[in-house]
Structure 1
């Protein structure tokens, strides 16, 4: 059985020029090159032998002075390069594109000379790719380097957690060879299988203490069901720190394989959070969730010094290029985009705080708009869990000149409302009673979420209102984004309105009235009403509304109290509160209130006068109507000779003629006639 760390391979000390393949020599002669090893002189390597070298191989800035026949016997690539060259005596070859670089070629050359080569997790991937590049196949000689390295990968590396991590990390400099040879895929699946295994069934050396020797979990030995050697339970996030050292593309491969294995989405989200906090400096500065975000009990174990990452750190991995200090803007954008694409679709797999900080980093890194929109939808799904500090995302658009991205918060609220509406209409296959119970519970949950979002929005409005570049329209639209039912109390809105008025003292009276429309004076508490009554920044009309609404509430409270209790002591404090409220009102507002009361009394008096005049006119109209009805009856009873009106006029004309023909001396008699005539005429028209 091979050792889990290293394996020595070699091919003897006698090499021939035969072996076929790639245009190699077919001579049966077997020249021998005996050596005791390689020695380095400056930037060049020499074979420790008495035979002078006849081939120089240059790889980057390192030169190798070798012999042709040991290389030709096992490398098809060298056969083609030498024998298909136009030069008759080719004695110098450049292989700058060899994967693994000079280190891998040194091991391959030693293998060709029969020098023992120690295979380990740190060199196996580069040596495997170099063997593929040099075409060291079984067609040239049995037990060639490809076979040896492939066997070591399959039977040693993939059975070890630590070796799989180290090999996958070493593949970062071997693209695309490591991908084409399936090294990345096999290591990712091996890591995923081990991460998804039940920790209770794993016998491993879990180190809360320094390890004396570099070792790995014994994945082949599952008989011991004890969680660890010292009895400490294995945390569910034990693998976070190890996989977080990987490059983002390999981390994505591992997480994708873990998803296929069926790991809990909360653990996957916690691993993504831990990776982001480590690789994104701006995200970590805002305050990380820790490596175990949402993982019960074991979320911080990696910070306490326990776990396999300590074993890996004790190895020979001196490459510190993965540290965040070496990050570039392009790499940071790629990390953010990759993390967004692998976040599980479940609602609570990651915290809303993490999503908002990731969104802030995405806007700063200019991530693709489609991914930003997707991230905004994720935030909207759980916006009620957000914190105000995480919602204050700076505005990176220089055209608007705003401190915070108000439009972004507006979009988050829209996504939240769409999600609430979708969840409210989600149940389809339920009985009437079940649907009724579900609707009641869902309505309570939605209302609670809306209340939390409303409080969050009020706090956000108070913060952004201090920005003098924030327009009144943007403030008003954002304040009215939520429905009326989302706020049971408007104290938060009043605080935001007052803060906006304080930061924008040049607002006109019309603009101040328009601003105050976003709040309802009837939903203010007694403390807010007392503050508003003394707030000289508010329009006078709003102050009057506040006082009136408070008076109405006090009256209602008195009425309700009087119905419950007969004693007057119960509502006495309310009266004193009203008195205190009025006494605390500024003198200017008291004078305005007195003037308004005088105008109201005048209007009441004028209204009463109009009502009295209207009653008189109504009585006159009723009298005329009755007279008209009587005249109509008289018309019906008159004879065919004429109406009462015509007979009256005839009598009047006759009386006139009699008056003209009479003597002056009969003036008294005529006077009596004249007096009787009008009376008879009045009787006729009545």
Structure 2
């Protein structure tokens, strides 16, 4: 079989066929690489997989203008395969330009290990990271049905995969794959991707995570979150899951609420995985902090302009994330198993500057109070501390003033902050109009100013003023009652001290007391015997009195 025996032997002819026929054709390179799935590890040892992968990568990275491209004429998406053997024929016209993703469908039929080899070779060739991320998303949509099943377990069906079919019936499987390849290469819309078992999907997810380009916008945040949902469902290696969470944190501001509602696949009692969203938010804040502390870029000539643009983009990203987190809290607050601590930690994770308005946070708090009616007064106050009453809009303040679920102290704070804002608005408008000396008359009084304001503003001001006046009247009444009770208490205390004070005693008073006692005793003893001598008895005290005096 070698050239030692005779020239043009089998090995030489096979090598020439691979080099000049198979590797020079796009379709034949994919067919041979697909056939190598049944010949592992022999095909790997003979370098056939490496050579086919490099051939496919070279053709995918080549200039598409040299490819003869033919459309079927039905729809722009249904196109025929490029003919690499007929490159010297007629050039494509201006109206039949080759799309940059012409090779996605053909590469997506490969097994995951061969697909990784092809993508790795394409990266070495220097293809743009946007196209590499796009082909990864296209491959995942073909082989991972759980990405399009809303993350439910029904997407994980487990029939026999293609490898087991090929081992049982080589002839039938080979013909079916060949026909399927021909249909894909010819531009048919039929899908020949087999359904993968759940155990094989774990390997696909791990492989896709490892080949995602490191650039920020190489893949969409929605795809990363769906991939993260599938990874948690399939129990992927924790190190890869952590890496994927960091990638999501880099572009967390691009996420949507539907993507964040990831079910909890662990033994947690909550319906949604709140801890996962907490980790994603932490990765986002770490990434934003590292970007803000990084040195300015060299291509910006003015450092101040760059700093302003960077701060503006960071603040906008944090505002979008704050709105997203508030919407997520409103959704998960309906879960009765969600603890107050988790809700509070997630709500306070963002800095205060990220929220210019706390209406979304108030809506989440109200939803949590509805779902948890057994909260104590202390827990309600603790829940409402995450909200700033001064950042509520007029509609939110009116709703909060009539909300019986809120603590009374929070309602008073809302009314007070609204009164302060209205007073400041009136003062600012008065100063502004006082400075305009031309074309606008001054507003004479406050009533005229309120008449020119919208109806909702007037109703809010009237309701707030009425509630504040009621509270003031009640406070004055309590003060008056307190002063009255205090005066009564002082009067009673003075009377008690006066009664409890001992009277002063002297020799004269004690002598008179003894004399009166002696007189009473004498009168009681001599009542019967000395009745006729009543006049003498009456004169006796007078004699004693004269003698004492």
Q: Normalization by structure 1: what TM-score?
A: 0.59
How far residue 151 of structure 1 moved from its aligned partner, in angstroms, is 2.0
Paired with 1:207 and 1:356, the residues of 2 have a C-alpha distance of: 36
Paired with 1:321 and 1:225, the residues of 2 have a C-alpha distance of: 30
Larger strand fraction of residues: 1
Of the three residues 241, 247, 256, the one matched with 1:387 is: 256
2:449 corresponds to 1:570: yes
Does structure 1 retain, via aligned residues, the 8 Å contact 2:53–2:121?
Answer: yes
2:38 corresponds to 1:173: yes
Higher RCO (C-alpha under 8 Å, 6+ residues apart): 2
Does structure 1 retain, via aligned residues, the 8 Å contact 2:112–2:204?
Answer: yes
Helix, strand or coil for the counterpart of 1:237?
coil
Paired with 2:119 and 2:429, the residues of 1 have a C-alpha distance of: 64
Structure 2 vs 1, CA of residues 259 and 581 (structure 1 numbering), >3 Å: closer, same or farther?
same
Paired with 2:74 and 2:454, the residues of 1 have a C-alpha distance of: 71
Matches within 5 A, 1:80-229: 136-138=1-3, 143-208=8-73, 217-218=83-84, 221=87, 224-226=90-92
Matches within 5 A, 1:251-400: 251-286=115-150, 312-313=182-183, 323-325=193-195, 327-398=196-267, 400=268
How far residue 458 of structure 1 moved from its aligned partner, in angstroms, is 0.5
How far residue 435 of structure 1 moved from its aligned partner, in angstroms, is 1.7
Of the three residues 469, 472, 475, the one matched with 2:343 is: 475
Aligned to 1:531: 399
- In the TM superposition, what whole-angstrom CA distance separates every residue of 1:602-651 from its partner, at most 9, and x where no partner exists? 89x89xx9xxxxxxxxxxxxxxxxxxxxxxxxxxxxxxxxxxxxxxxxxx
- In the TM superposition, what whole-angstrom CA distance separates every residue of 1:501-558 from its partner, at most 9, and x where no partner exists? 0010100000000000000000000000011111111111111111111111111111
Q: Normalization by structure 2: what TM-score?
A: 0.74
Structure 2 vs 1, CA of residues 165 and 544 (structure 1 numbering), >3 Å: closer, same or farther?
same
Aligned to 1:493: 361
Helix, strand or coil for the counterpart of 1:570?
helix
- In the TM superposition, what whole-angstrom CA distance separates every residue of 1:75-94 from its partner, at most 9, and x where no partner exists? xxxxxxxxxxxxxxxxxxxx
Aligned to 1:595: 474
Helix, strand or coil for the counterpart of 2:302?
helix
Structure 2 vs 1, CA of residues 590 and 276 (structure 1 numbering), >3 Å: closer, same or farther?
farther
Aligned to 2:507: none
How far residue 570 of structure 1 moved from its aligned partner, in angstroms, is 3.0
Q: Which has the larger radius of gyration?
A: 1
How far residue 564 of structure 1 moved from its aligned partner, in angstroms, is 2.2
Paired with 1:176 and 1:323, the residues of 2 have a C-alpha distance of: 23
Structure 2 vs 1, CA of residues 490 and 173 (structure 1 numbering), >3 Å: closer, same or farther?
same
Structure 2 vs 1, CA of residues 261 and 224 (structure 1 numbering), >3 Å: closer, same or farther?
farther
Does structure 2 retain, via aligned residues, the 8 Å contact 1:281–1:324?
Answer: no
Does structure 2 retain, via aligned residues, the 8 Å contact 1:395–1:405?
Answer: yes
- Give the aligned length: 439
How far residue 580 of structure 1 moved from its aligned partner, in angstroms, is 2.8
How far residue 245 of structure 1 moved from its aligned partner, in angstroms, is 0.4
Structure 2 vs 1, CA of residues 593 and 324 (structure 1 numbering), >3 Å: closer, same or farther?
farther
Structure 2 vs 1, CA of residues 593 and 253 (structure 1 numbering), >3 Å: closer, same or farther?
farther
Over aligned residue pairs, what C-alpha RMSD do you find? 3.2
Does structure 2 retain, via aligned residues, the 8 Å contact 1:466–1:500?
Answer: yes
How far residue 393 of structure 1 moved from its aligned partner, in angstroms, is 0.8
Aligned to 1:580: 459
Does structure 1 retain, via aligned residues, the 8 Å contact 2:198–2:234?
Answer: yes
Does structure 2 retain, via aligned residues, the 8 Å contact 1:488–1:523?
Answer: yes
Aligned to 1:630: none
How far residue 147 of structure 1 moved from its aligned partner, in angstroms, is 3.1
Gaps of 5+ in 2: 152-178, 434-441, 488-549
2:113 corresponds to 1:244: no
How far residue 237 of structure 1 moved from its aligned partner, in angstroms, is 0.6
Larger helix fraction of residues: 2
Structure 2 vs 1, CA of residues 417 and 597 (structure 1 numbering), >3 Å: closer, same or farther?
farther
Aligned to 1:507: 375
Does structure 1 retain, via aligned residues, the 8 Å contact 2:224–2:248?
Answer: yes
Helix, strand or coil for the counterpart of 2:449?
coil
Does structure 2 retain, via aligned residues, the 8 Å contact 1:137–1:147?
Answer: yes
